[in-house]
Structure 1
Amino acid sequence: MGRECVQFSNTQDYQMAHALATTDGKTAMMYAGETPWHGLGTKLDEPATSREAITAAGLDYNVELKPIYTGDGTLIPQRKAVVRDDSRDVLGVVGNSYQPVQNHQSFGFLDSIVADGQLRYHTAGALGKGEKIWMLAKLPGEIRIKDSEDVTEQFLLLSNSHDGSSALRVFFTPIRVVCANTLGLAERRGRGQGVSVVHKGDLAAKVGEAQKILGLAAKFYDSVEERINHLANHYPSREQLTVYFERLYPDSPDSKNKRAENVRSELFRLFEEGRGQDIPETKLTTWAAFNAVTEFVDHHRTTRGKTDRDRASSRLESAWFGSGAALKARAWDEALDLAV
């Protein structure tokens, strides 16, 4: 055809995967410090600069837009394929108005948020064949609950897709240090947790708004600190806890299915014995009940996969972006209702 293109025998030839990507046989992920709960990726001794993180996480590739032809050579109008420039893998099919945001631009977006250029990345990686990427960077400051050893650090989690499935998004992501749980504290109805940049229009102008995120993050974390301390001063009864966990995991209409009952039993165990639940100032509080849910999602929830790696990567994807993240957001809302 005289030029590089993508030829599909069927427009459904492309299907997205959710496992962690591999680059040159290595898991496309980096992390700094202690090995995380999922045990995957390239270990770095210290949090990384954007350049270091891109290389260690296998994100040093660009994407290109290519025309699509059917098997008989007919051009498919109004559609283009998103192709990796190194592996030539097709990452997705998008419309003509789609504008890619390269991985280095995503890192640059976060780098520009902190004026002194000292933002450091604790983890980064890619899913599937590289169609979805993320990076996690720590902001200055922390939330110390009731002046105790229970500390929550303030992070920004950026995710971006190369398949048209989602915008570039920056989430404000608190992480409880004692258990490394990602808390997923969305404001009610999803408002106030972050910002999105759609892959259309003047992307440069939108990226130029990055520094406004720092002010939004400060407001978000001020609100979160107040609410966490409120939860940490509320001591629910056993009956209230039962209702709380039942709202999150109600019984199945099938009376023979004991899964929800078993999950609730595990949540009660984590409420009393989970990581960080022995801190005197927050023990047996509604804050502890919420963290029983986050620990369950991040560390214990059953996931699908043929290998340990597949199961671990599925758990990560769910906990940060999928059904696990949604469950944690519901648990946060229900905890706030419980502590009224």
Structure 2
Amino acid sequence: AKSMHDIDFTKNAPAIAYTGGTPWHGYGQVMLPDQTLADWIIAAGLDYKVLERPVGWIAPFIEGVKTTLETLGKPAVYPKHVPIKGRKALIRDDVNICLSIVSDRYKPIQPKEIMQFFESLVKDEGFKMHTAGALMDGKRIWALAETGKEFALKGLDRIGAYLLLTTSYDGSSATTAQFTSIRVVCNNTLSFSLNRGENQTEGIVRVPHTTEFISADVKGQLGLTEGWVQFQDNVIQLADYKVSKRQAIEFFLELMGVTEDEAAEGKQLQNVKKLLSFYESAPGSQYMSSKNTTWGLVNAVSYFTDHGRRAQNNGTRFNSAAFGDGARLKKQAFSKALKMAA
């Protein structure tokens, strides 16, 4: 059944599995600590293969026009299938859905391979599987692992480190691995990474679909320990930097691109009002680390993208917050706040 959700419902059940408390989007199959990789693959709706098939078009029969075969006195075959060079279709084998038409150089990573990468991290690095699932009929799959690293800001504000791995079958994004922090009090997510200079300021490891996914290479590039220390230092700096209400309003206005001549009821102005409200009253906003600080500004933006932004449904909001406009807005807010606190 077709669903309005970005979470994949092609098998009439949400393609998502998780451990611990129910995720904020409210969907999925709860997993127990001793369940196997095979259990995870089935529960997360990732038990399908992505097949590669040639694509083409059907040449129409045109009345009165003889084909080359007919002019040679041979019987014509209708309709005629004409292959398209340089392209192929990616087909989901269990429900026979075409996920996309891509270049013939495109190398899809199977859902099982993503999960095997995580299983190796669980064994080698002591990570724990946290959540996994599919979005948009299986066009994008993702998995989240708990690294076991955590720190507390000013006593109460606990933040944990996770690894998010995602790949797409519709050409919308490369296979990416990135660390993300989750704030315990409100489940706000914020990506963090090792800043490796000009070429890798985002610190996301990207594997283009034209190259092979080699898990050892990806592991080697991630740099969790250094990235986490750097992120922790940045967050402490943000939690120590105090701001006035006027500075907070200016921060949100600039972030959302609201200009002085914008109509008072403009959509972005409404969003700024929401941000201000989350800054003052969202879960965790009264913690010492957040109240009247730049860390509070960042968390208002994270809460807005992860929980408070208008969306068709929770699945759509989740897709934006983790991979789309919401993720970009959080990055902008974090770097803007760091400049302010520098």
Residue type of the alignment partner of 1:332: F
Q: Tell me the TM-score normalized by structure 1.
A: 0.85
The CA deviation at 1:228 is: 0.1
Question: Which amino acid is the alignment partner of residue 190 of structure 2?
Answer: L
Question: How large is the RMSD of aligned CA atoms in angstroms?
Answer: 2.2
Q: Indicate the residue corresponding to 1:231 in structure 2.
A: 238
Q: Where does 1:31-110 land on structure 2 (aligned, <5 Å)?
A: 31-46=18-33, 49-72=36-59, 73-110=81-118
Question: Is the deviation greater in 72-81 or in 268-277?
Answer: 268-277
Helix, strand or coil for the counterpart of 2:138?
A: coil
Q: 1:173 aligns with which of 171, 180, 183?
A: 180
User: Aligned ranges for residues 153-302 of structure 1 at < 5 Å?
Assistant: 153-185=160-192, 191-201=201-211, 203=212, 206-213=214-221, 216-251=223-258, 253-302=261-310
- Number of residues of Structure 1 aligned to a counterpart in Structure 2: 314
Secondary structure at the counterpart of residue 22 of structure 2: coil
Deviation at 1:164, TM superposition (A): 2.6
Distance verdict in 2 for CA 1:101–1:151, change over 3 Å: same
Bigger shift: 255-264 or 128-137?
255-264
Other-structure match for 1:4: none
SS of 1:58's partner is coil
TM-score (norm 2): 0.85
SS at match of 1:193: coil
Secondary structure, in 3 states, of the residue corresponding to 1:69? strand
Distance in structure 2 (CA, Å) of the matches to 1:112 and 1:221:
21
Q: After TM superposition, give the deviation of residue 244 of structure 1 in Å.
A: 0.7
Bigger drift between 169-178 and 252-261 goes to 252-261
Is the Cα contact below 8 Å between 2:122 and 2:128 reproduced in 1?
Answer: no
SS of residue paired to 1:210: helix
Paired residues of 2:178 and 2:192 also in contact (CA < 8 A): no
Per-residue displacement from partner, 1:196-251 (whole Å, max 9, x unpaired)? 112224x26x323133145x121111110000000010111222112111111233
In the alignment, the residues of structure 1 paired with residue 110 and residue 297 of structure 2 have an alpha-carbon distance, to the nearest angstrom, of 40
Matched, 1:324 2:323: no
Letter in 2 for 1:317: N
Write the deviation string for residues 121-162 of structure 1: whole angstroms up to 9, x where unpaired: 22111112211100011102112223x111110000001012
Match of 2:76 in 1: none
Task: Find the residue that maps to 2:46 and give its secondary structure.
Answer: coil
SS in 2 for 1:184: strand
Deviation at 1:254, TM superposition (A): 4.3
Query: Displacement, 1:321?
Result: 0.5
The one-letter code matched in structure 2 to 1:29 is I
Deviates more, 1:180-189 or 1:137-146: 180-189
Secondary structure in structure 2 of the residue aligned to 1:26: coil
Check 1:278–1:49 CA distance in 2 against 1; reply closer, same or farther (3 A cut): farther
CA contact (8 A) 2:289 2:296 kept: no
Runs of 5+ consecutive residues of structure 1 not aligned to the other structure = 1-16, 306-310
Partners of 1:221 and 1:192 lie apart in 2 by 14
Change (3 A) 1:47 1:151: farther
Classify the secondary structure of the residue corresponding to 2:124. Answer: coil
Establish whether residue 152 from structure 1 lines up as the match of residue 159 from structure 2. Answer: yes
Q: Report the identity percentage.
A: 34
Contact 2:245 2:292 in 1 (8 A): no
Q: 1:211 to 1:19 in 2, by over 3 A?
A: closer
Structure having the higher Rg: 2
Separation of aligned partners in 1, 2:170 and 2:292: 44
Contact 1:20 1:128 in 2 (8 A): yes
